[in-house]
């Protein structure tokens, strides 16, 4: 190529790049705005869930401190990870990732397999 043609070619390439960027910018900016709004709404829901204490059982006792009744809407008691049975942990893993114990594989979205 001659020097004049190369500079003209380079100028046209730059102009084409600017044109494509100008066309793609509204879509990219719109996707970014939607992403920010979704992120904000997820953060708000997560904050609401974290601020509410889980329903627990209330034990009614007599004057000597002996339990006479337990009141609850959902019978939940907080436990540590060590207090959860190994079989329950294995069952949760098996439900979420059926091949976890069968083979050494990683499933990016086990819930989508079903």
Note the pLDDT of residue 87.
Answer: 92
Q: Which structure tokens are listed for 28? A: 């990219």
How many CB atoms are located within 10 Å of the residue 28 CB?
A: 10
Any idea where the domains of the chain sit in the sequence?
A: 1-52, 58-112
Report percent pLDDT > 90 for the chain.
26
Cα-to-chain-centroid distance, residue 28: 23
Note the pLDDT of residue 109.
Answer: 58
Note the pLDDT of residue 103.
Answer: 63
Residue 111 predicted with pLDDT over 60: no
Residue 99 predicted with pLDDT over 60: yes
As to burial, measured by CB atoms within 10 angstroms (0-12 exposed, 13-18 middle, 19+ buried), residue 35 is: exposed
Strand partners, 5: none
Q: Write out pLDDT tens, residues 20-65.
A: 999 989 888 888 888 888 888 877 777 776 676 777 888 899 999 9
Q: Predicted confidence band at 68 (pLDDT cuts at 50, 70, 90)? A: very high
CB 60, CB 71: distance < 8 Å: yes
């Amino acid at each position: 190529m001659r020097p004049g043609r190369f500079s003209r070619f380079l100028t046209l390439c730059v102009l084409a790049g600017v044109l494509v960027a100008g066309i793609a910018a509204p879509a990219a900016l719109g996707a970014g705005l939607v992403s920010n709004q979704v992120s904000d709404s997820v953060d708000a829901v997560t904050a609401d869930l974290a601020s509410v204490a889980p329903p627990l059982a209330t034990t009614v006792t007599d004057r000597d401190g002996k339990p006479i009744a337990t009141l609850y809407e959902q019978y939940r008691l907080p436990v540590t990870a060590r207090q959860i049975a190994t079989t329950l942990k294995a069952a949760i893993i098996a439900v979420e990732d059926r091949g976890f114990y069968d083979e050494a594989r990683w499933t990016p979205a086990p819930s989508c397999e079903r």
